[in-house]
Chain A
Amino acid sequence: MSLVVAILAVALIFGLRIYVRMARDDIGLPRQHIGMSRWRRFRASVDWVLVAILIAICALGLLNLYSAVHGTKHAGKFAQQVKFMLVGTGAFALATAIDYRALLRLAWLGLGLAVIALLIVDLVGRGAKGSERWVYVGAVGGQPSEIAKLAVILVLTKLIQDTSGGAKMSWKALVPRVVALVIPVLLIALQPDLGNATLLTLIMLTIGFLALRDLWPMVYTLFAMFLAIPILWETMHDYQKSRILAFLDPSADPNGTGWHTRQSIAAVGSGKILGKGFMHGTQNQFQFLPEHWTDFPFSVWAEEWGFVGSLLLLSMFAFLLVWILNVALRSRDHAGSLLCLGVAAMTFWHVVINVAMVLGMAPVVGVTLPFISYGGSSLVCFFVAMGLVSSVSLRRHGY
């Protein structure tokens, strides 16, 4: 385990050194740093707190994944996840190196690509459990819904940036842009992936609430959405309906849909204060939770590390969120701040929905726990997102 963490750390440092060389000219350091060694300038400008908390969370995630898949036919997923993390580290470095303001110029292009990918998935995609969430380019598959979240954050940032600072946008220009933001939500909902569609909506609403000057239009929109719920219910698939119903009354159908929730709750509860110990969770080791490495990693963690461990993990996420908000507040421009807000919102809702689902407080949906869940798309996306935050943080000083 420590070996893995060491490799990861070395890779991270190596990657950071490369990007520093790449982005040297771009980095604006406070005047007093000029003349210092490159290493010291680098150390002073990189957001080490962010890096440290990410390493810590990733380490816990790998530990947890090891326990979850060890000795099963899914044991190969651990090595796979390590590879994803290496790729993710590279992506993080790249996102840090590239100026986020440059990226914002590509925001609409990104959204366009994401929508195309989603369309491909909706039309020809293949997936498990009757819903299509994957798209393949050659042998590399990915879930466009994860990319869509990033694209939407970028687009929203750009949109709000464009409309703030005195520049007025005409209704003619604004309405198509807002509608364009709704398209990925609809496409994801059509996959059908209700969890991520809801998540995307929540991200957009959160950014809106935190960044918009005038909140009333959003309140109206929300009200309209509540009115639309019955219509949505009618268009839902039976399994989706039954999942929501099972969430509302898990004991109604003990072996059916509510079973996952009940087993997950039992796993969490059975951890008690200190947990059953690493690799000793019976619910986890004997597969009472199907695919617990993607959707239910928190139940594995809570079972094996107990209340204390759960608290630790939640604190780490809370600290991460606080730190991202801190970066948002210290950002040198509105765009950076908005970007960090978007990433914070995405992280927040992922964590909350996933943990609430594990604890039986939300319906079972395919929403991952950042850096803990197994899965390349989600992991790399979060690394990129954190890279954006890192990028904002790196460029917080001076113009």
Chain B
Amino acid sequence: MLVRGAGAGGPSSPELVGRLRWVVLVLLFVFGALIVRLWQLQILRGDSYFQLTVQNVVKERYLPSIRGKILDRHGVPLAENRPAFNIYAVPRTFSPDLASELRHLLGLSDEEMAKVKERIAAGGKRAPKLPVIILEDQPRERAARVEQERFRLPDIEVHHEPYRYYPQGALAAHLVGYMSQMTPEELRRLAGSGYTGDELVGRYGLEAMWENYLRGKKGKERYAVDANGHRLDEATAAGLIEGERQTDPVAGYNLVLTLDVELQKIAERAVAPYPAAAVAVIDVETGRILALVSKPAFDPNVMTGHLTKAEEKFLEDDPRKPFIDKTVRAQYPPGSIYKFVTTLAALEDGVAQEDEKIDCKGSIVRSGTTFHCTAAHGPLDLSQALQHSCNVYFWTLSERVGLDRMAQVANEYGFGARTGLGLNGDSPGRVPTKTWYEQRTRFKIGYTINSATGQGDVEVTVLQMAMAYTALANGGTLFVPQVVDRVVRADGASVISYQPQVQRQIQIPPEHLAILKRGLWRVVNEPGGTAYPYATSDIVSITGKTGTAEVKAKRSKKEIQEIRGWHPSGTHAWFAGWAPSDHPEVAVVVLIEHGGTGGKVAGPVAKQILEGWWTKVRPHNLPPAPPPTLMNRVFGDLLRPITPAIQPPAPPTDDQEPDSEELEESAEPVPPEPEDEP
């Protein structure tokens, strides 16, 4: 029976009275359990839960530092910062729904979407609660759209932050470099040095080399949010966050270079017609780099965060290898510009005389191989041989001095060793010796002959050659090339100032140097010289040597992109020299990769650069004029002595038509006055 009639019991509930004990026990037990649980949560673990709830509302965000600028010697910026919109997301809350929402909202491409996902994944591994940049340098419309739809996009934030900008575009791109996203391996390696992993780091050139000076120190912001990720107001945040709410970022140091942007522009304009080239212009007195061109280049503004896969592939497939710095990294056979080594070795050993004539019959035969000269020059003395770049003459000299002695002199001038610039993986080049050949196969006299004219296994970099010619021009001081003049703080205070550094003082008898210089002057300035009239200037006297380096046909017949004026089997055109001839101020080396003959192709480029330097760049770098005297102040312009900053150009010769640009420049300045001529 389910229910039986109540036999006994009071008026109310006999069953209840009977089971009251159980009721009390259950009540005690259940409420006791709840209280024990409360005790456990609130008293035993209270502090950790309190921290947890603080973490719920208090978020941290890194404040990017302002990266140091890269400035030329006059303060013209090569790399600076501009404001940009960066979009951040928190990996933890970045759901697939949110991703598709964002994609739809901003119209992101597949590639951008892939990048976003990659960054979210990387950020999620590091610190899933900290916002990471998912899209940098976004257009204003996208930023506005995200701001408008914020309530639908939890934890997506737009920040207006400094972004790297290269106002000169591709100018001196290899030197300045570019920046790109840090890789996870780099972050592991640099963990603890203030990187968060989602920032751009210097990847190439000075940006990479001086990263630690340029980057500054990140700040940190702590702010409060509600459960939807919306920022709480300042007063609320102040009440919730203990301690510092914001650590200001520290700006990076600025680099002031020795580079002259104007000269750099002149040099890049000069090589503009050629598909691949390299130029180095060095201050002869200090070894400072004034211009450094490597062509083809890239636009660092594109490389820094905006490179699409297609563009990257295009650049990587270019047979001219745009990512290899042709001034310090690539090694080339120098050709005849290397002949100064042979000359000096022979003069020092006393096996050559300036007036000794050697008859060039157009070729010589050694151990069964015929070596051809550029022409049958007939009997030439040393400076004529330099002037005509007669191979036979230097082959003969090389046989007298030997390979090792030439290598010794070459090493003295910095060949076969790194220049010490330390940029873009500079190469040591190669100066072969007898031992070097013996280690590989065996030594043959032909190797000596090849080396004498900078062929065979001799390889140099453009900057090495520029430093060597600098040493020739200044009488034997081999400098360590210098490109950073000083490091300054953002407020302008100097941090480090670098002095020119001498690598080696070469003991070179003045008379030997004079012989060499006479020969090189004739190359440019006397009819019959290999650079005459290509590099002959009426504006500034140029001395130099041409080189036409043959390349080994080592390339496979793989499909090579056709480029006009550039073929992998063409000769390299070189010109190395300095100006002015008598009191050298700058040394220049021009290489036109696979460009043809040195005098005809590289000569005019060098001339254009040096003339540009003389007329447009040098005047700005002269010491300032003395302060005006009292007479000047009173009579002003009437009394001012006319001291032309530049040498007034001589009237153009008939056979050469100066550039229209140069005419404009030279038409303006002071009328020539004979008595003021220096």
Contacts and interface: CB of A to CB of B under 8 A. Distances in A.
A329 B16 contact: yes
B639 interface: no
Contacts of B15: 210-213
A174 interface: yes
A361 interface: yes
Interface residues of B, number: 47
B13 A266 contact: no
Interface string A23-66: 00000000000000000000000000000000000000000000
Contacts of B48: 269
B38 A311 contact: yes
A307 B240 CA distance: 21
Contact of A217 (B2, B39, B41): B2
Contacts of B54: 282
Interface stretch (B28-36, B62-70, B371-379, B657-665): B28-36
Given A269-B50, A311-B35, A333 B11 contact: yes
Interface in B481-534: none
B232 A286 contact: yes
Contacts of B19: 209-210
Interface of B is mostly: helix
A273 interface: yes
Contacts of A270: 46, 49-50, 52-53
Interface in A194-222: 209-214, 217
Interface in B1-18: 1-7, 11-13, 15-17
A225 to B, nearest CB: 17
Given A273-B43, A287-B227, A287-B228, A166 B13 contact: no
A271 interface: yes
A190 interface: no
B408 interface: no
B344 interface: no
B632 interface: no
B254 to A, nearest CB: 43
A85 interface: no
A314 B31 contact: yes
B445 interface: no
A163 B49 contact: no
B226 interface: yes
B39 A266 contact: no
A101 interface: no
Contacts of B224: 286
Contact of A214 (B4, B31, B41): B4
Contacts of A361: 33-34, 37
Contacts of A252: none
A393 interface: no
Contacts of B1: 168, 214
A166 B43 CA distance: 54
B57 interface: yes
Contacts of B39: 307
Contacts of A272: 42-43, 46-47, 50
A210 to B, nearest CB: 5
Given A314-B35, A359-B34, A329 B13 contact: yes
B225 interface: yes
Nearest to A268: B41
A6 interface: no
A307 B2 contact: no
Nearest to A281: B53
Nearest to A332: B11
Nearest to A315: B31
Contacts of A290: 227
A255 B90 CA distance: 14
B462 to A, nearest CB: 58
A336 interface: yes
A324 to B, nearest CB: 11
A169 to B, nearest CB: 7
A121 interface: no
A262 to B, nearest CB: 9
Contacts of B27: 318, 321-322, 348
Contact of A286 (B7, B34, B225): B225
A341 interface: yes
B98 interface: no
Contacts of A89: none
B16 A211 contact: yes
A168 B12 contact: no
A328 B41 contact: no
A373 to B, nearest CB: 17
B21 to A, nearest CB: 12
9 contacts: A169-B3, A174-B3, A210-B23, A266-B53, A269-B45, A272-B50, A288-B53, A329-B17, A331-B11
**Top 9 A-B residue pairs of the complex, sorted by shortest distance between their CB atoms:** A269-B49, A166-B5, A163-B3, A286-B226, A272-B46, A337-B13, A269-B41, A270-B53, A337-B12
Interface of B: 1-7, 11-13, 15-17, 19-20, 23, 27, 30-31, 33-35, 37-39, 41-43, 45-50, 52-54, 56-57, 92, 224-228, 232, 240
Given A318-B27, A359-B37, 8 more contacts: A167-B5, A168-B5, A269-B42, A286-B56, A314-B35, A325-B20, A331-B12, A359-B34
